[in-house]
Amino acid sequence: MNPTTPEAEALQAAFMEAVFIMARLRAPGGCPWDREQTFASIQRHTLEETYEVLDAIDRENWPDVKDELGDLLLQVLFYAEMAQEADYFTLRDVLENLNAKLIRRHPHVFGDMQGVEKAETVLANWEIIKQTEKASRANNREDASLLDEVPRTFPALMEAEKLGKKAASVGFDWASAEDVLQKLEEEIAELRVAMTSQDRRAQEEELGDVLFTVVNLSRKLKIAAEFSLRAGNAKFRRRFHRAEQLAAGGKPLAEHSLDELELLWNQAKKEERYPTTP
């Protein structure tokens, strides 16, 4: 987009208006709730807004995507405004840092690798550039770990996936998905043993090992664990709702026996797998 076109000027004006609105909300006499917020207090809102964007995309509801992206952008403006108040950095710093990073990480567009068209080559070079950047910022303390690059504040599913990927980058990995599946069976067997005891901590630990191994299995299968689970959640929602519809006479599911619930569930599964043609 040419920065001198009317469309670009309108975009700049809209963006600056949002920045000024955020500043006004945080200023004396602004919104009491907004003024009370801190970096820590709005973290959960940032996570919620991120998932709401993903949900809208999953539903392909583009008006909702538009709205949710606005809510997500608000989080960026909120953090930047608080950072400026504390004299940490400004929104301009954020944008300039982003621009420099985009140019630095795309030499095939802006630099000496122009003409490269293979996505695999681009991705490999991207990872090399990222590692170089991180190495230049690395703290040479004795207790430093490769896994320090994975934020502990990630949602657990994402953290597990990133940890497995990071370890695999130095060869610490299973040879195949089949090997991970075998490891999963071992972890399930250990969980079974823990379940026979009264040791809740051991049960929690072994269940964690099962979940961690499942995430690594998804990585070896090149399936994003987060989106695979989201798809599974959506499937459960559909089938459960259909079981509610199938319940005789509108009778609540809670008033059905376990055997009846199993029949309703199996019917819902059957209809989804083998839909009838009208």
For 228-247, how does the pLDDT look when each residue is reduced to its tens digit (9 = 90+)?
Answer: 998 899 999 999 999 999 98
At residue 275, the pLDDT reads 80
Average pLDDT of the residues in 150-178: 91
At residue 137, the pLDDT reads 57
Contact at 8 Å (CB) between 213 and 162? no
Better pLDDT: 109 or 253: 253
Average pLDDT of the residues in 197-206: 94
Instruction: Kindly tell me if the per-residue pLDDT of 178 is higher than 90.
Output: yes
At residue 28, the pLDDT reads 95
Q: In 169-199, which residue ranges form alpha helices assigned H by DSSP? A: 177-195
CB count within 10 Å of CB 26 equals 19
7-21, 67-81, 139-153, 237-251: which has the minimum mean pLDDT? 139-153
Closest CA to 91 of 10, 36, 43, 21: 21
CA distance 119 to 219: 19
Domains in the chain, please, with CATH?
A: 6-104 (1.10.287.1080), 227-273 (no CATH)
